[in-house]
Amino acid sequence: MEVAAPLARPRRRALFVDRDGTLNPDLHYLKDAERLELYRGVGRALALAHDCGWAVVCVTNQSGVERGFYTEADVARIHARLNDRLARSGGRIDAFYHCPHAPEHGCRCRKPGTELFERAATDLELDLPTSAILGDRVLDAEAGRRLGMRTALVRWPGHDAEVAAEFRARGIVPDVRADSVEGAVRRLLALG
Ligand SMILES: [Mg+2]
Ligand SMILES: [Zn+2]
């Protein structure tokens, strides 16, 4: 009797997105979900990625938890509101992963550490080498580069000189640069 080999389920590509400064203005240690606002076009951009079959996963450093500025429950409320807001324009984040530690903790989950991405890949059956990360800082791109992913930098007006210096210092050139999340997502998707 011949037994068919089990078909390997194809792993999905993911668009990993940073949170603060990428999806929403960075209000620095945001505690109150009511204050969260999204940048324009973010929901539509994430919907485009879903339309192409990509999972959308948010990976965010939230050292304010360990520093005592806000709690895990505050973070959960912010993420629920984020998805509420995204839903108005058809967008959705499939899963959130956050590092609650301060940098001096020396954990492996704080970006540019890769642990949260690896956890997401296991949980959601993602293919990291064909995935991409979109962020506003070099630590986002550095995490992506360590995992062999495409990297996209979203640049907001007034942010450029500081961020450009960070990238130069780390010797990283992002694959995509755009002035908006939607522009960055469209360019990433066009890379195939
Ligand atoms: Mg950021
Ligand atoms: Zn951590």
- In this prediction, residues 9-15 reach a mean pLDDT of 91
**Chain segment 18-57, per-residue pLDDT in tens:** 999 999 999 889 999 999 999 999 999 999 999 999 999 9
Distance 21 CA to ligand 1 centre (A): 4
Task: Mention every residue, 6+ apart, whose C-beta is less than 8 A from residue 12.
Answer: 53, 54, 55, 124, 125, 126, 127
Distance 61 CA to ligand 1 centre (A): 8
Distance 184 CA to ligand 1 centre (A): 15
Write down the pLDDT at residue 148. Answer: 97
CB under 5 Å of ion ligand 2: residues: 99, 101, 107, 109-110
**Chain segment 60-87, per-residue pLDDT in tens:** 999 999 999 999 999 999 999 999 999 9
Is 14-190 in CATH node 3.40.50.300?
Answer: no
DSSP per position, 94-160: SEEEEE---GGG--SSSTTS-HHHHHHHHHHTB-GGG-EEEESSHHHHHHHHHTT-EEEEE--TT-H
Report which bound ligand comes closest to the CA of 24: 1
- Residue ranges of domains in the chain: 14-190
Residue 187 has pLDDT above 70, yes or no: yes
- If you average pLDDT over every residue of the chain, what do you get? 93
Report which bound ligand comes closest to the CA of 112: 2
Distance 59 CA to ligand 2 centre (A): 11
The yes-or-no answer on residue 18 being catalytic is: yes
Distance 137 CA to ligand 1 centre (A): 6
* C-alpha torsion angle, residues 109, 38, 48, 111 (rounded to 10): -10
DSSP per position, 31-93: --GGG--PPTTHHHHHHHHHHTT-EEEEEEE-TTTTTTSS-HHHHHHHHHHHHHHHHTTT---
Model confidence, pTM: 0.93
Report which bound ligand comes closest to the CA of 107: 2
